[in-house]
Amino acid sequence: MSLTDGPYAGPPQPDVVDPSGGANQTRVRAYNERLVMSLVRRHGSLSKAEIARRSGLSAQTASVIMRSLEADGLLVRGAPVRGRVGQPSIPMRLNPDAVYSFGVKIGRRSADLVLMDFLGTIRLHLHQIHTYPLPEEIVSFIIGGIGKLEGQLGPGERGRIAGVGIATPFELWNWSEEVGAPREEMDRWRDFDLQAAVASRIRHPVFLQNDGTSACGAELAFGVGASYPDFVYFYIGSFIGGGVVINSALFSGRTGTAGAVGPLPVAGKDGKSTQLLKIASVFVLEKLLRERGIDPEPLWY
């Protein structure tokens, strides 16, 4: 579950007051809290004075919000930093143990389940491979895996799990030929509601997003993407995909596939027009290996 979605979308650029700004009215306090946490996430740690300067909030409002977030366990204090004059400043940083979330990545040859902390660090990880993904097997992996990983946590840690985010290729049934799967098997995905199937069997909220868009969101939150307000992200998996960021916020588009670069027309080796996914995807490498008598299974790991 990417923290770039919803309340944590769009951290501002370094040393620039957030373009959307903050507000001091009580009715927008939740927005201001999210703005503060986004700034702290981006910069690692910030003092109250720095938060006020970067957000446009008054010093008093910034101080009140940061005390509240500290009381809720979302922020923790760092070591005091002494300047030449005046009182030392206290940098505040996100508490990695404040919130946990499960993340699921469904690939055409494998699936992964991770437990992630508030900073995006993977704490626990499960991996399985499959010849091709089937709905019932994926749900079984997710439900069983969550139970297994939760069993390694204490009661307090289990109580801090915010939800489950699922990253999956959309319209899996369209690629049966490329992954070497029987069409009738992959057609089972057509009317299968994966989000509902998982949500009906666990107590956590479940969120579902296209895999390329999810990867783009992760780059925005935890990678170099935070340094660029607008960019296109290329995700090379079994098929090439991607994501789009505009004004430091993930843009998925009306259908959730704004970054679907795979169908873009490009020139093939023969000079004829073809789709980008038929040139720059892992399934192409897998096919080439098979043609040369090389086992492609290590790619699935």
| pLDDT tens-place string over residues 95-125 | 999 999 999 999 988 999 999 999 999 999 9
Listed range (59-63, 77-81, 204-208) with the worst mean pLDDT: 77-81
Our count of domains for the chain comes to 2
Confidence (pLDDT) at 301: 77
d(CA 120, CA 124): 12
DSSP string covering 43-110: HS-B-HHHHHHHH---HHHHHHHHHHHHHTTSEEE---B--SSSSPB--EEE-TTS-EEEEEEE-SSE
pLDDT higher than 80, residue 86: no
pLDDT higher than 90, residue 2: no
Final residue of a structural domain among 68, 94, 120? 94
Confidence (pLDDT) at 236: 87
In-domain check, residue 283: yes
Mean pLDDT, rounded, for 126-139: 95
State whether 186 and 104 are in the same domain. yes
State whether 10 and 135 are in the same domain. no
- Summarised one tens digit per residue, pLDDT across range 221-279 is 888 888 899 999 998 888 898 999 999 899 988 887 788 899 999 999 899 999 998 89
- Summarised one tens digit per residue, pLDDT across range 12-65 is 434 445 544 555 455 688 889 989 998 998 888 999 999 999 999 999 999 999
State whether 124 and 221 are in the same domain. yes
pTM recorded for the entire structure:
0.81
Final residue of a structural domain among 71, 94, 117? 94
Question: Residue 26 maps to which CATH number?
Answer: 1.10.10.10
In-domain check, residue 298: no
In-domain check, residue 300: no
In-domain check, residue 228: yes
- Summarised one tens digit per residue, pLDDT across range 3-12 is 333 333 333 4
In-domain check, residue 294: no
Question: Residue 280 maps to which CATH number?
Answer: 3.30.420.40
Q: Could you tell me the residue range of the domain that residue 57 belongs to? A: 6-94
Confidence (pLDDT) at 222: 87
Confidence (pLDDT) at 22: 53
Instruction: Between 165 and 241, name the one with better pLDDT.
Output: 165
State whether 232 and 115 are in the same domain. yes
Confidence (pLDDT) at 300: 79
Confidence (pLDDT) at 123: 97
Confidence (pLDDT) at 299: 84
Confidence (pLDDT) at 252: 86
Confidence (pLDDT) at 1: 38
Confidence (pLDDT) at 232: 95
State whether 105 and 217 are in the same domain. yes
Confidence (pLDDT) at 13: 39
Final residue of a structural domain among 70, 94, 118? 94
In-domain check, residue 16: yes
State whether 262 and 186 are in the same domain. yes
Listed range (63-77, 150-164, 248-262) with the worst mean pLDDT: 248-262
